[in-house]
Structure 1
Amino acid sequence: MYDYETANPNKYGLLKEFARKNRAGMTPCEKALWEKLRKLSCGIKFRRQHPIADYIADFICLERKLIIEVDGKYHESPEQKAHDEIRTHDLEAYGYTILRFTNEDVTYNLQTVINNIKDYVLYK
């Protein structure tokens, strides 16, 4: 499936460019998780910074309709929490499941994060 098949066609050009910039400027936590996700041995392919609807997912498995988000400190603000809830609701309406992990989860418990993702992918 191509990016343009999952993105809002009216915003595809903008989303594509923003996703490209996000891939080039991934956070250390996103880089660490990406290195693990791209090497998973369970036969599932993930993409990073993928346009979906009006948003860009940190990581997505299109086959399982799974989105993985790595949330930094700014996600703790009331405004960002409200935005994240709307975003989650919108993406769930497209049939996606969203797994959220904090930067701290990835930094201090990366293997647990990977195990949680693998459990979802293999058993859901």
Structure 2
Amino acid sequence: MRREPTEPERRVWNELRNSGFFGHKFRRQATIGNRIADFFCPGKGLIVEIDGDTHDRDADLKRDAMVECQTGFRTIRFTNREVMHNIDGVLSALKSALNEKPDRWGGGG
């Protein structure tokens, strides 16, 4: 997936890379426990997932809750459709999620 991201993942990554999203550093395809997150902001402990049609929402939400309990990392999810048809809304929601989370290391994001 790292070499061949989906089009929605590519679009989101274009906004996030090079600390270009309000100065926040993101990693792509980050390993967190036994899962690989689409994107991860280590400074805020925020996981960003872009979900296709094959995702089981209930199972994903249970897994997200378990990861948050174990690590303190919150997961925010967007569908491929949301990214493709409303990237501005996705980015606005992501910015809000980042603003809600405190900096993990006491510095600015």
Give the TM-score normalised by the residue count of structure 1. Answer: 0.73
* Corresponding residue number in structure 2 for 1:70: 50
The structure 1 residue matched to 2:16, chosen from 34, 37, 58, is 37
Higher deviation after alignment, 96-105 or 30-39: 30-39
The structure 1 residue matched to 2:64, chosen from 85, 88, 112, is 88
State the one-letter code of the partner of 1:88.
D
Matching of residue 122 in structure 1 with residue 99 in structure 2? yes
* Corresponding residue number in structure 2 for 1:52: 32
Contact 1:60–1:66 (8 Å) recurs in 2: yes
State the one-letter code of the partner of 1:33.
V
The Cα offsets for residues 59-108 of structure 1, whole Å up to 9 and x where unpaired, read as: 00011000000010011xxxx23431332122111101111000011000
State the one-letter code of the partner of 1:111.
D
TM-superposed CA distance for 1:122, in Å, is 2.7
Work out the percentage of aligned pairs sharing the same amino acid. 37
Matching of residue 26 in structure 1 with residue 5 in structure 2? yes
Give the TM-score normalised by the residue count of structure 2. Answer: 0.82
* Corresponding residue number in structure 2 for 1:9: none
TM-superposed CA distance for 1:30, in Å, is 0.3
Unaligned runs of 5+ in 1: 1-21
Using the alignment, how far apart are the partners of 2:24 and 2:17 within structure 1? 9
Matched position secondary structure for 1:68: strand
Return the index of the structure with the highest Cα Rg: 1
Matching of residue 109 in structure 1 with residue 81 in structure 2? no
Q: Which runs of 4+ in 1 moved over 4 A?
A: none
Return the structure number with greater helix share. 1
Unaligned runs of 5+ in 2: 102-109
- The alignment's C-alpha RMSD in Å is 1.5
